[in-house]
Structure 1
């Protein structure tokens, strides 16, 4: 009799364990067994050219949600790409709950060609190409693959960026919000807070044309949000250079977010993330000229309306335009290289709540 009563709780324990045990995850017709990671090199082929997307899939030992992460959507933004390399080791599938699909370098040709913003193959900006096209150009096919094989399989989504070649940029997290999607917006906000940056930007999509069903979303993480997936961004690093502190900061911020999502615990004592200063509105200051730009301020400076931020000269040294702050706020971005074109913004000011 004693043995029979012992058998009942033992069976319940085994059944309980079977509910939470992870199963194999299949990606591109290959099996990623529980508690393992696997690397994939995905070919992207058009009639004119061929490229590839390196992807790492982590399958945890416990059943859970799927997180999609992209790095290198802009291939000249190096800090997120190198942080992705570090995450290969710091994400431990033996301690992971759920699945992480990490795109190591989305814009491979931009990365290899050292090409800011656009692919040197088709001259398209990957972060203006979503959801992409199965029959499109190189960049459009990359966007389509990420949309169909990563975003659509994700329960949460993170896109990692830094300042591109000419951009001196502050470090911040961001999230997408919309009044008609309160729960999705709230989770994205909590993801952004958990990453532990001093500043957080609200990408408010109310009334945005790209949110309409008949319009393309354009941006990588906007595509996820438009599909009802909580979406966050990172901007950390700048001027198209490798900053070890920024690389480490991105790695740490992703691990912080994993802890918030209950996917992988942080080692040591837990510490709640401080609520960052929130930027609800950004003011863009256009160049309007071709010439040489001289910056007088740096990203992160507090500025006041009317403060001189820099000036533009012609190619003989004559000043043709002074650049002034149009509002009080935080200088989020300022062009850090001399070349400037009429259609470009030379500075961005954030209004902090």
Structure 2
């Protein structure tokens, strides 16, 4: 009887600690391995695909979903995701990581900011998407219903595109009615290792209402009750390999924090500054923008941060800081259209 009991305990341990194969798109991915997928998307004669990597760990655990390249001109997260193909070792992984390498592939290949060339849509404004919609809506629908709905945690990775001088930071979603999920998101964001963490406060936001679309990739996950964070790392559409490495290391630190990988080294305590509010300023005129500040500068309300001229050098608008705080973003290229965002200023936690 003693030997039977030992055998039962051994079998139980195998089922408790061994990772079963993970099924994705009808394919079984064995424990301790990774697999690559190309998910086709077609609409009205136009086509694209979504490149996805699944890392199925050697032992049972939770699932983390990651998207890169929702905006195809934001290169460091895309390059960081490419680095993760080698740096995430499924043999040393607990649980499963679903990594969308480039969500907005045609935007990436056509070097086009924000929009997909075929349907002129901003992918990060159409979630949760439509099953039979245009390409962007179909991509959003697939990510919402084949990836987000399978994960326990979610990360969306961005950077400053071709026109955006943006400082790097982590961010998390919070809502007063979701305290535990919000707290987990904050812990995840702090683990990324950035000096600044932005709080996406969703209290009272229209996109949190059940009958309204979530619009944003990570907002869709948060709305479904999943702790959700963002990375913003990189600027001006530059393929900055240092920023790509920072993205890679941030994800690896997140995996360690969430117990997907072993704590091989003591995690550094991140004395991050928490930004709780953001103030946006838009252009009232079209023309040529001359920034007088850069992302990461501290500004005070009323300080001149730039000006706009017409095409003959006449000043049409002087741009002033509309709040005290940290310049998270400033338009970094000369062309400007009326209504475009010129600056985003972050205010710190009191």
Shorter-chain TM-score: which interval?
over 0.9
Aligned with 1:240 (options 233, 237, 240): 237
Q: 2:103: which partner in 1?
A: 106
CA shift for structure 1 position 292? 0.1
Q: 1:136: which partner in 2?
A: 133
| C-alpha contact (below 8 Å) 1:256/1:266 kept by paired residues | no
Q: 2:318: which partner in 1?
A: 322
Q: Secondary structure at the match of 1:123?
A: coil
CA shift for structure 1 position 193? 0.5
For structure 1, list consecutive stretches of 5 or more residues without a partner in the other structure.
none
Matched, 1:335 2:331: yes
Q: Provide, for residues 199-228 of structure 1, a one-character-per-residue CA deviation record: whole Å limited to 9, x for no partner.
A: 001101000000001000000000000000
CA shift for structure 1 position 9? 4.0
Aligned with 2:292 (options 296, 302, 307): 296
CA shift for structure 1 position 10? 5.5
Q: 1:30: which partner in 2?
A: 27
Q: Provide, for residues 31-61 of structure 1, a one-character-per-residue CA deviation record: whole Å limited to 9, x for no partner.
A: 1110000000110011231110000000001
Q: Provide, for residues 283-341 of structure 1, a one-character-per-residue CA deviation record: whole Å limited to 9, x for no partner.
A: 11111110000011110001111111011000001111111111111010001100000
Matched, 1:124 2:142: no
Matched, 1:93 2:90: yes
Aligned with 2:193 (options 196, 201, 212): 196
Instruction: List aligned pairs for 1:64-83, cutoff 5 A.
Output: 64-83=61-80
Q: 1:348: which partner in 2?
A: 344
Poorly superposed stretches of 4+, deviation over 3 Å: 4-11
Instruction: List aligned pairs for 1:265-284, cutoff 5 A.
Output: 265=262, 267=264, 269-284=265-280
Normalised by the length of structure 1, the TM-score is 0.97
Q: Distance in 2 between matches of 1:301 and 1:73?
A: 27
Q: 1:286: which partner in 2?
A: 282
Q: 1:176: which partner in 2?
A: 173
Q: 1:217: which partner in 2?
A: 214
Q: Distance in 2 between matches of 1:5 and 1:207?
A: 61
Q: Distance in 2 between matches of 1:216 and 1:158?
A: 19
| C-alpha contact (below 8 Å) 1:279/1:352 kept by paired residues | yes
CA shift for structure 1 position 13? 3.6
Q: Distance in 1 between matches of 2:72 and 2:132?
A: 22
For structure 2, list consecutive stretches of 5 or more residues without a partner in the other structure.
none
Q: Secondary structure at the match of 2:91?
A: coil
Q: Distance in 2 between matches of 1:178 and 1:18?
A: 37
CA shift for structure 1 position 342? 0.5
Q: Provide, for residues 3-26 of structure 1, a one-character-per-residue CA deviation record: whole Å limited to 9, x for no partner.
A: x64664454244223212100101
Q: Provide, for residues 147-196 of structure 1, a one-character-per-residue CA deviation record: whole Å limited to 9, x for no partner.
A: 11000001100000000110010110001111111111111111001111
Q: Provide, for residues 231-264 of structure 1, a one-character-per-residue CA deviation record: whole Å limited to 9, x for no partner.
A: 0000000100111111111000000000010001
| C-alpha RMSD of the superposition | 1.2
| C-alpha contact (below 8 Å) 1:175/1:201 kept by paired residues | yes
